[in-house]
Amino acid sequence: MRYLDHFYIDGKFVPGTDRARRAVINPATLESVGEIAMGTQADTDAAVSAAGRAFETFSQSDVRFRLEMLRRIAALFDARREDFARLMTLEMGTPISFSRAAQVGGSEAHIQNGIEILQRFEFEKKQGKTTVVLEPVGVCGLITPWNFPVLQIITKLIPALAVGCTVVLKPSEYSPLSAILLAELLHDADVPAGVFNLVNGDGATVGAAMSAHPGLDMISFTGSTRAGVLVARAAADTVKRVHQELGGNSANIVLPDANIGTAVKAGVHAAYRNAGQSCTAPGRMLVHRSQYEQAIDVARHAAEDFRCGDIFDEATMLGPVVNEAQYIRGKGLIASALDDGATLVTGGADLPAGIETGYFIQPTVFANVTRNMRIAKEETFAPIVSLIAYDDVDEAIDIANDTPYGLAAYVQGSDERAARVASRLRVGQVQINQPQWDPSAPFGGFKQSGNGRECGEAGFEAYLETKAILTP
């Protein structure tokens, strides 16, 4: 890539102010695939200043101007979809088939959804003699995670640009390659100088500088709950808007009237998506005690069908976890489950058969898991399914809600019964019977899973302020 060791500030690729570099490691091979520059306070200041200057004009731009800009972005993204897929496979080890279908395909869907919403969005409404105007919140800092490195940028960036905000982006230092390619694309799409800025770096330096920066009006952060607390604390002194999508520990309730074979297999596949590195991964599978032994057998076969291997082979279903810290943590959770008395059905902490290197964790299933075990209490971010038995639906709901998180849940069974269960779950999104993905569905959580919503019209509203104009 041409600008791997540069930042994108004020419409130009510029070298960082520090000589510090960080290697980007392919977690499947443990080899470096490049080095990025690491940002400083000075780099952050330059990016925020550029965004502030650009906001004065971009916030007043016509909707038609922003629509044409988004259409240019969509066309260029489609033309470079394979480049994005291959970079994400290199930087975070997702199998190429998943990179193409989910990482790139999902990003494209969000871009198109943003265009569709902007075409019909009402920025001004009359309420009697009062005019209610929705205006861009200002200069926005976007801090994004490594697990969906472009999609998570797109879900923040597209609505921010659509409503007239300017942005400073800090992508994850673990998966920055695709973000740099996105900066190149936005430059080629003639996004006005200063409207989009990118500074690579770590959370302790660039992330902290952005969170506390008086020139930013809003921080949109996706990451761990622990890091989200630090962002909120740093942002408090400047009373900026803080929008957060944080951790999760999703339960998958398989109701007694569900088809146990179909439901359990689908649940295992959902839990292993992106090597389990999704904040909505349904790692806790709750099964009625009368169907528990059957569920164990189905889960075992579903897990053992997952193919690990060459991440550029289209037949590979499961890649590695992203880095050494995640690898050590995943293996530690497996060890703790065994220590706590859970039964290892399949998988485990050893490398999958035929694989000699990389941060691969076997597709793993545990049975005889109870709600108080560490494996059931914590977000795993690894390909692990924990089977938990329940005696009645009230108990299943209680177990599902017994977590500090509230991002997502899954229910499988008859539509009517599943809907009743969904109404009692304290989460921001419930998926019933593995529905087709909807890019316009509001996304965000209750409790320690964050605040605010992304995607769809809710994603637009996150970047808007309300002004009331009263007339005689």
The domains located in the chain, with CATH, are 6-246+449-470 (3.40.605.10), 251-439 (3.40.309.10)
**How far is 327 from 32, CA to CA, in rounded Å?**
17
- Token readout for 223 is 């990451």
- Which amino acids are annotated catalytic? 245, 279
**Cβ-contact 281, 250 below 8 angstroms:** yes
- Least Cα distance to 201 among 418, 60, 5 occurs for 5
How big is the chain by its Cα radius of gyration, in Å? Answer: 22
Q: Which amino acid is at 435?
A: P
Report the pLDDT value the prediction gives residue 1, as an integer from 0 to 100: 65
DSSP code at position 54 = H
Give the distance, in angstroms, between the CA of residue 26 and the centroid of all CA atoms in the same chain.
20
| d(C-alpha 215, C-alpha 247), whole Å | 28
User: Can you state the percent helix, strand and coil of the chain, rounding each to 5?
Assistant: 40, 20, 35
Does pTM top 0.85 for this prediction?
yes
Max CA separation in the chain (angstroms): 77
Q: Are 364 and 384 in contact (CB under 8 A)?
A: yes
Compute the distance between CA of residue 14 and CA of residue 4 in angstroms, rounded to an integer: 11
Q: Is 251 in contact with 379 (CB distance < 8 Å)?
A: no
With beta carbons less than 8 A apart as the criterion, state whether 364 and 383 touch.
Answer: yes
End-to-end alpha-carbon separation of the chain, Å? 59
Task: Measure Cα distances from 323 to 29, 173, 223 in Å.
Answer: 11, 11, 15
- b/e map 162-195, b = 16+ CB within 10 Å: bbbbbbbbbbbbbbbbbbbbbbbbbbebebebbb
In eight-state DSSP terms, residue 404 is S
Rounded distance between C-alpha atoms, residue 117 and residue 100, angstroms: 25
| Cβ–Cβ < 8 Å for 158, 182 | no
Which residue, among 422, 423, 443, has the nearest Cα to 431 in the 3D structure? 422
User: What pLDDT, on a 0 to 100 scale, did the predictor assign at position 18?
Assistant: 87
Question: pLDDT tens string for the chain (472 positions)?
Answer: 678 889 999 999 999 888 889 999 999 999 999 999 999 999 999 999 999 999 999 999 999 999 999 999 999 999 999 999 999 999 999 999 999 999 999 999 999 999 999 999 999 999 999 999 999 999 999 999 999 999 999 999 999 999 999 999 999 999 999 999 999 999 999 999 999 999 999 999 999 999 999 999 999 999 999 999 999 999 999 999 999 999 999 999 999 999 999 999 999 999 999 999 999 999 999 999 999 999 999 999 999 999 999 999 999 999 999 999 999 999 999 999 999 999 999 999 999 999 999 999 999 999 999 999 999 999 999 999 999 999 999 999 999 999 999 999 999 999 999 999 999 999 999 999 999 999 999 999 999 999 999 999 999 999 999 999 999 9
